[in-house]
Amino acid sequence: MRYHVRSVAAFAAGVMLLAACGNTSSGTSDTPVSGGTLNIAMKDDFKTLDPAVAYDTDSWSVERAIYNGLLDYQGFTTQLGPDIAAAMPTISSDGKTYTFTLRHGVKFSNGREVTADDFKYSFERMLNPKTQGPMTGGPFWGSVSGTADFYSGKATGISGIKVIDPYTLEIDLDSPNQSFLNVLAMPFGFVIPKEAVTAAGTDYAHHPVGTGPFTLATWTPGQLLVLKKNPSYFGTPAYLNEVDFQIGVDAQVGFLRMQQGQADLVQPDINMPSAQYIQLSTDPTFKSRIVKAPNVDIWYLGMNVNVKPFDNKLVRQAFNMVVNKANQIKVLNGRGVINNGIQAPPMPGFVPNYNPLGLDAKGQSLDKAKALLTQAGYGPSHPFPAQDLVYAKVNADSDNLASAIQQDFQSVGITINLKGLSFPAFLDVTGKPNTTALSYDGWIQDFPDPSDFIDPILTCTAANVTANGGNVAFYCNKQLDTLDDQARGDTNSADRLKLYQQIQDIVAGQDFPWVPMYSTLETSVSATRVHGYQLHPVWPLVLTSIWVTGGK
């Protein structure tokens, strides 16, 4: 996912990095107390609470509290475990058939018990083109048998999703897919009752019914969304009685509200704006309440390998030696780490201190870069053509980050013109082939599996599109695709990670479609009455660990 979701993998280097990052939770020393209301200031209204449609962290923050799926991440780790499933699935020896047994007695908030039919209904509805959800036709669920016929209308149901009995669900894949359990844990896999969808007509997005620890009490568009504790929740009940999302509150006003005791969290699903981070880092009340965790993202310059001058590998390699990556992190107030690879810390497959080009501590090697440019035919008699750097103006830091890049290239005699665009326009021009030569891009995990940092943004499939591609470099290497296919089906974790490291070597040490730059650190803060607030490695917001003392 571009911008927003974050992750931590349960893997040694990641844990070390996490420890180095500082607090990931706040106020955990008190004894939890039940009751009270948590007030959360949000800038934008929620797009939808239909799990088949929502693909943004704002919506997921609420959906995570209302719904459940077959599997979920255990506690604040990336370790998958059963949720509505009674246990982890049994997987056939060929890795293609998953059989789930459901818990008995799990009820929707309308009182009806969840059965395997509900999962089949929810999955088919989510993948039905008529639902207009983003998973239809996509790669995540594409390996489930029968999806192609379902999309094309040849079949009315998905043959690979089978209800064996009310408590047993079988899912058949066309080919083994090691990331499929993570796919199931995404919000698109949440279960909903058919009768609620029928009753809501075309407006299920505003009338969600789930099995989660909270239920939607009211939602006044543009003003307030209220969640109430679900008394019939099958899991450990939440401490909070109520969660109020105050909608439409700008971050600046939100932090004022927090200081006045009118808000407990401000837009917790995205990183704190720089201005507030600087201010609260020195505030005696709040500086100790700032929590941090890796964002599991990678920020890079994408160089379109089909467009001059980036069709020349020597130029791409030279560009990899020019950017002062340490300076980029400085612009972000130190909230990031240099990353010369394609996987983000602490994703499995991430190699700490990876440096295939032997760059210095700033991430540069300017003399080598100049030599490579000369080798590529550029010099005083044939100066390097000025390039447009296309970037998205998503926050106050965007312009500063791009300006820093401009200065870096000036030092090797290359003129960079900055072209800041709105996010929709940015997606449009970078997603079309032969349109954008150089862009400032970012990728954030959908789920904690290294495949998510390759399939959508570095494969030939992602490059061979006419529009809306995520592979902004339009880079295609068949060898990489073969290794990726091999890794997807490889059941041996160690071998699988080696394959992903080989892929990283091809991209960052051989073909250079990107200039990998850095991975960021998520920061958030809570009011003093809030306890147990933690950044989850995958979910944008987890409410069940939080309790409040005093106040409303």
Partner 1 sequence: MTRYIIRRLGWMVVVLFGVAVVTFIIAFLVPGDPARLYAGSNASPASVAIIHHQLGLDRPVYVQFVDYLWRVLHLDFGYSYRYSAPVLPAILQRFPATAELAVAGVFVEVIVGLPIGILAATRPGSIWDRITMVFTFVTLAAPPFWLGLIFLYVFGALIPIFPLGGYGNGAPQYLFLPALTLGLGGAGYYARLLRAVLLDILPKDYIRTANAKGVTPGTVMFRHALPNALTVLVTQLGMDLGYFLAGVVVIETVFAWPGIGKQAVDAIFNLDIPLVMGTVLFGALLIVGANVAVDIAYTFIDPRVRY
| Paired strand residues for 301 | 440, 515
* In the complex, least distance from residue 337 CB atom to partner 1, rounded to whole angstroms: 23
* In the complex, least distance from residue 451 CB atom to partner 1, rounded to whole angstroms: 13
Cβ atoms of residues 530 and 265 within 8 Å: yes
Annotate 244-298 with three-state secondary structure.
EEEECCCHHHHHHHHHCCCCCEECCCCCCCHHHHHHHHCCCCCHHHEEEEECCEE
Q: Which is closer to partner 1, CB of 428 or CB of 505?
A: 428
Binding site for partner 1 (CB under 8 A): 1-3, 44-45, 47-48, 50, 53, 55-56, 129-130, 132-139, 151, 203, 205-206, 220-223, 246-250, 252-253, 256-257, 259-260, 262, 421-425, 427-429, 431, 443, 446, 456, 462, 465-470
Q: Which is closer to partner 1, CB of 256 or CB of 307?
A: 256
Cβ atoms of residues 543 and 38 within 8 Å: yes
Write out the two tokens for 228. Answer: 């109430």
Q: Which is closer to partner 1, CB of 247 or CB of 373?
A: 247
* In the complex, least distance from residue 542 CB atom to partner 1, rounded to whole angstroms: 21
Beta strands in 315-437 (DSSP E): 336-338, 387-392, 416-421
Phi and psi at 390, nearest 5°, equal -90, 130
Please enumerate, as own/partner, the contacts of 496-503 that have beta carbons within 8 Å and a separation of 24 or more: 496/178, 497/348, 497/349, 497/450, 500/343, 500/348, 500/349, 500/450, 500/451, 500/454, 501/349, 501/351, 503/342, 503/454, 503/458
d(CA 168, CA 227) in angstroms, rounded, equals 31
d(CA 377, CA 35) in angstroms, rounded, equals 70
Q: Which is closer to partner 1, CB of 186 or CB of 503?
A: 186
Cβ atoms of residues 501 and 349 within 8 Å: yes
Cβ atoms of residues 48 and 132 within 8 Å: no
* In the complex, least distance from residue 47 CB atom to partner 1, rounded to whole angstroms: 6
* In the complex, least distance from residue 355 CB atom to partner 1, rounded to whole angstroms: 28
d(CA 122, CA 104) in angstroms, rounded, equals 18
Q: Which is closer to partner 1, CB of 446 or CB of 490?
A: 446
Q: Which is closer to partner 1, CB of 228 or CB of 393?
A: 393
Place of tokens 């993998």: 9
Reference 436, options 307, 301, 300, 299; nearest CA is 307
Q: Which is closer to partner 1, CB of 3 or CB of 167?
A: 3
* In the complex, least distance from residue 262 CB atom to partner 1, rounded to whole angstroms: 6
Cβ atoms of residues 188 and 126 within 8 Å: yes
Q: Which is closer to partner 1, CB of 285 or CB of 492?
A: 285
d(CA 519, CA 509) in angstroms, rounded, equals 18
Write out the two tokens for 330. Answer: 């400085």
d(CA 362, CA 100) in angstroms, rounded, equals 49
Place of tokens 């809501």: 200
* In the complex, least distance from residue 523 CB atom to partner 1, rounded to whole angstroms: 22
Q: Which is closer to partner 1, CB of 300 or CB of 409?
A: 300
Q: Which is closer to partner 1, CB of 373 or CB of 437?
A: 437
Please report, for residues 282, 319, 351, 516, the alpha-carbon distance to residue 355 in angstroms, rounded to integers and kept in the order given.
Answer: 35, 15, 9, 11
Q: Which is closer to partner 1, CB of 302 or CB of 456?
A: 456
* In the complex, least distance from residue 428 CB atom to partner 1, rounded to whole angstroms: 5
* In the complex, least distance from residue 253 CB atom to partner 1, rounded to whole angstroms: 5
* In the complex, least distance from residue 512 CB atom to partner 1, rounded to whole angstroms: 23
* In the complex, least distance from residue 299 CB atom to partner 1, rounded to whole angstroms: 15
Write out the two tokens for 230. Answer: 């679900």
Q: Does residue 346 have a cis bond before it (omega within 30 degrees)?
A: yes
Q: Which is closer to partner 1, CB of 55 or CB of 167?
A: 55
* In the complex, least distance from residue 17 CB atom to partner 1, rounded to whole angstroms: 24
